[in-house]
Structure 1
Amino acid sequence: MASIQKRSGSYRARIKRVGQPTLSQTFNTRIEALEWAKETQAKLRLGLFEPPQVPSLKNFKEAALCYRDNHTIYKKIARSETYRLQILIERWGQLPIEQINKSAVLTLRDDLLRLGRAGATVNHYFNTISKLFQMLNDEWELNIPNPIKSIKRMPPSPGRTKRVYEQVERELIASCEKLGFGLLRSIIEFAIATGMRRGEMMGLHWGDIDLVNRRAYLHITKNGEPRKVPLSQRAMAVLETVQAMGTNAVFPMSMNVLRNQFEKSRAHAEAAWLSAGDNPFKGLRFHDLRHEALSRLSDAGLNVIELSHISGHKTVAMLSRYTHPSHEAILKKIDN
């Protein structure tokens, strides 16, 4: 019997067989998964199916590469999970897969914490390892214990409370101008005006923009659900600026260039900051712009339902980690 499971933006087709190993394959779309399932079931009925050969996994590296090529590449988090797999290969590459036990994972956890990695980062490594062993057991019938099952996940780290106040925003934009990063300036302004994630903005095409009704359609989001983001007058002004470029992409810039230019602008602004107190550009991340956008919308009086409609958060708990109302805004509401 075939089943289709949605997993982090990808689709896994599974065919269970009585007394035989389960067959499975991961695809980018549900249609591809259904087609594979139908074709494979037809071959099984006609006796034409040739079972895949179980790889000879001599060490952890071979298992990790097998998982990467059959599962990771279909995920939205392919880039970050591939990076984690590479770190794990450097650590355990030549070890027999059976030696990756609870003790080895706990040592990995302690080493990551000593390096200053957050609890959430450690949990991402745990999830990658667990999925890898799940593949070995479910798909390749290797019957190897999953070392993550008896290990508790790390508690979530406190959410970031960094604000990008108007003066900080002006200085950051000034740095973009001085460095000749005009498109980056537009991206930063649009991020603060909309609260979109970096990947959501960089994936926008003009066909996703409804200029008449002032909204942007996000077809691919982190939680897998599309949403419509209202466009403020400031966001519309940014779009008017970049529309003159005449490109299909709203913001024609690669992610690598975006990262490099933002870091250069941040470093320039940090060096130029002369005010007393903590330097607001130290440790500033692009994702902090999303926090700032939602915090400003909260200061403007939007309620939780309205904020979640814009941000795409499904729970109030997660939304609260992103929204940090200013003290002045709270006082104003109390006084009113």
Structure 2
Amino acid sequence: MNKGTITQTGRRKDPFTSIEDGLKPLLVSMKILGIYFDPSQAKNKVEPSETYPSRANPPGWWRSVNRLYCYTVLLLLWFNFGRCAVGLFPLDDGLPLRIILTTWVLLCALSASIIIASCQKLTHLRSFYKHWDSVFQCPLRDNMGCGSKFPEQYLKIGTASGWFLGTFNVAALCIIMFCNLPISLVYIKAFARPFPESQWVIIFNLVMHVFQSGVWLFPIVFIGIIARVIRAQFLQLGSVISKRIEEADGHFPDQLPELRFHYTQLCQAVDIVNRSFKWLLGVRFLLDIFLACFVSYQMINGPLDIFVIAVNVFWLGGSVVCTLVSAMCSSGVHDAVSDIFSCKIPTI
């Protein structure tokens, strides 16, 4: 891991920063888009390895409003999917475009459902946050050289990229809808079905497109940043183990039991966060690959209009990039864990 992308936050010189506070720019962005609320607090219903003072929380009424807002957005996402599914037929020239649109809307609705369910369940994101903070607030981690690391640069780049691509996606739809392009009538008809092509229906689709663009992009950013955080800690642990073995001059290091315990705590964190991410990654892989295949088919067999090609290239690129980012982040954690086992263990 590049030193320029990681900042040390576990030193006792500075106040401890919880992982939620570190993720604040991303989490606030997801709250604005209605796909995240602060996971509920409850004593004795999570899995921390050690007790620690809870972080300051926003007022209860604000959490309730935020949660209601998220569930309202989720309801609208599923309503929009139902509308698209009803308007999928008849079998005419516009069917391929409607299939792509309906699949994308289903992807957004499922992704939002998984994220919101993860916020609601105490054994998912809340359990992960408390477990992670309890591990790295312990002073022993600093003494071993395994203090908390956080990839701030990746967080900034990921959050900014999510907003940029989401804004670009919405702006592109506005141009198609209002600029009388050769493909405008085709897309307006596809987006409006089964309702009439009125101005209010177009405005509704644009509003929903804002939320759907956020759901399409930010869960991938969220997975990527969490994976980078976990990967950084496994890489650091592997470096510390290698150094301790080297210093022990062929003997078992004195801190080996503590390092082994820290390793099991990191593995437990991966197990907890995987309760949410395995469903999200599964849905994204399945539907993104379907979209990529269907959009590729449409590019080969569809009209050769430059605007149609541009839209298809954007959809294809988005599906491929989301799949690659998810796969690379997951494999990065796996590779970091494997590096620990590559350390030269002394023989008895």
State TM-score, norm by structure 1. 0.26
Higher strand share: 1
State TM-score, norm by structure 2. 0.25
Q: Which has the higher contact order (CA 8 A, sep 6+)?
A: 2
